[in-house]
Structure 1
Amino acid sequence: MKFYSTNNPAHIVSLQEAVIKGLAPDQGLYMPVTIPQLPASFFKRMPEMSFLEIGFEVISAIFSEDLSEAQIQDLVAHTLQFDAPLVQVEEDVFSLELFHGPTLAFKDFGARFCSKLMSLLLDGKKVKVLVATSGDTGSAVANGFYGIDGVDVVILYPSGKVSELQEKQFTTLGGNITALEVEGVFDDCQRMVKEAFLDADLQEKMLLTSANSINIARWIPQCLYYFYAVSRLPRNDKKVVFAVPSGNFGNLAAGILAQRMGLSIDMFVAATNTNKIVPDFLEGMPFMAKPSIQTISNSMDVGNPSNFYRLLALYGGDEALLKKNVTGCFYTDQATRESMLAVKKSTDYTMDPHGAVAYLGLKDFMSAYPDSYVGVFLETAHPGKFRQVVEETLGETLVLPDRLESFMKGEKKVSPMANDYAAFKKFLLSSI
């Protein structure tokens, strides 16, 4: 499979270059030159297939030109070591729980896939992985790459703008994981990472790559749980809609990738907090980056979502087709809290703030089309990762899983970093 840059379709590279470089030289995101179509026979068999079996066939369709069957089996087995159960919350409303991995967030799937694929492709080289995080990316990547030979990880995160538990998950490991606490917001962290990738002087001195969703190795495997979820939905004649809590929009783009491969999804809801750049675009406004706003659903506090250009690319640059298949909505912190409390009272189901935003988007969409859709909202993180918000909202004490409790006992190891690229570059060069 070859990959092209969203900024220049004539710039085409191999899988190895796309994964190891992460970002194209022109700052575009890599996309597959062709999107493979899965046969009808596969979709007929899906309900009887395991998550691993589904994952193997989907990944084979994309990567079989570059990886052996044994490598793909190893890659999928390493990635899908935990379930993504579909839980019925209300009639025709299901939660896709993506928090059963090591760090209890959906990004565990992509991070494990990325670390394994990168180790297969490095061919003895040493690489430095740069990651900007607004929360769960940092913890998933840190734990996914921890102890991987030949890989050093540097995580930049905004000081005071991630939950304590998220912070503990990527600042307590040490080893080949370094955490930089930046005086700024997520977009400042992302900007510095992108500047590093475009710095020719730095690129001459070290091999840099990313494990954010801008990297295809992080982004593509997220399509797998959409296939799995559809395979487990009750069989009926209703249309299927997925509501996706969206920040950098990689998760939504992965769902659209699954759709473009032939998966039967009729509509997507892009649900955001008050960082509503993409919902505004879907309503007819120009796409315009803005300073991010801090909310209780902090992983979605993104003012310049990188994967927006993947959304367009998946529909061949056709904005009208994108708007036909994706509807946008946004919600305040108050509305988010109200939905968390209402669902807990009526169904005894506990949502985290991000899942609650997606639930709101799903319910508002389905109310406009009564009895027409069966809906799935993505529950992207365990509620315990946002313990303070959830406990304040529900008025009850959460019992944390043992994995989360163990992170809380770790000692925080971080280096402060000014919101300044020159200081960041100096730090990177000091590690040579």
Structure 2
Amino acid sequence: MRQPPSWVASACSGFVRACAVVGVSMLGPGVWAAAVALWIWWGAGAWTWIAPFVWACIGTLALSRPVSRMFRSLVAKWTGTVIPGGYRQARPVTRMSTGYWWNGFSYERTRRDAIRDQKMRVRLTDPAVWRDLRFMGIAPITAGLIAAVPPAGIAAAVLGFSQPELSTRLIGVAGLVVAIAGAPYAWRSAEPVAVRFLRPSPAMALADRVDELTAQRADITVAQAAEIRRIERDLHDEAQARLVALGLSLATAEKLMKTDPDQATALIRDARAGAATSLTELRELVKGINPPVLTERGLVDAVRALALDSPLEAAVSAHVRLRLDPPIESALYFGVAELLTNAIKHAHATLVRITITRDGTGVVVDVEDDGRGGVAVRAGGGLAGLRGRLAVFDGTLEITSPAGGPTRARMAVPCESS
């Protein structure tokens, strides 16, 4: 089947996109036009304008965020330019010892009232709300007006060809030419307008970054406290108890050395075995804090050693040998360890492939297993914690895990290696 010329496809897709831009842009003016029509229908009296005006304001406020989101979605779909929303996120409400709920602004008697009050306050104090309202007024006279050229040309062509006069038919021909020539380009004004007026301001981006770092600091503090408690528990339950028993055995052997040398020798032998076991436990504990191979030989060799100790068949592929800052190496190493543990316990995988590469901005670690899939990042889970640890370094964790597998996890951290 013969394919249509490329300019025909470009004109058709451009016309559809231009109509979409016009439709989204004119939602705000449409609300006000409906309000004016309602006022006229009521008789255009001296005071009858108040209700339509109020409803138009409410409609504009209600539509501002959906319109902005639709613009961002269209621009991202058509051009690949992702414009962050920059909206402030409501934090979890907290129940105080008094029984009241604190939402960051006020105390409320119930959790429902706290959340409702919080949403209203966040919405009214969020600079992004006023940015969206501004965009509602700017979009129709910028992107909407330019994108309206092809539809207006088609309308002129239809009207012109429907009349028998030669002059009107010439107008119809001109409208058709304008529509066809402008269709591939008229919709493109949506991208610069959206980027200019919907992108968060530097102050808003900085405020969001401060909030993000504050939340990350709180998460890290909680994680560090939990890690310290784990270390204390391991020392108390294993190494410390064994060392105490070792001291008692040596004290008993010292007393029995003169009266019962054989029994003393047996106690010393058991104490020596206990000392070796305690040393092994301490080494495992230190390995859990910071593996020596990671400090001495770097991330690649540490991951290879981790793969050798794994009960799964694990293949490690590293196209480069690199040394990173110790905190980054530690985060990636324990990230791989977390993913391997998940593959064993939850995915029931038999094979894991680990790939470590460099791209233009940093290091990328891919972990793929042949398990049953269906992995999801749940709040408070290990993967959520891993994502938080990587976010401290502006890193990301992306997981693709369809039901039935395979599961692919990608950790990327922007950094410079040596």
TM-score (norm 1): 0.20
Structure with greater strand percent: 1
Larger Rg: 2
Structure with greater helix percent: 2
Q: Which structure carries more relative contact order (alpha carbon 8 Å, separation 6+)?
A: 1
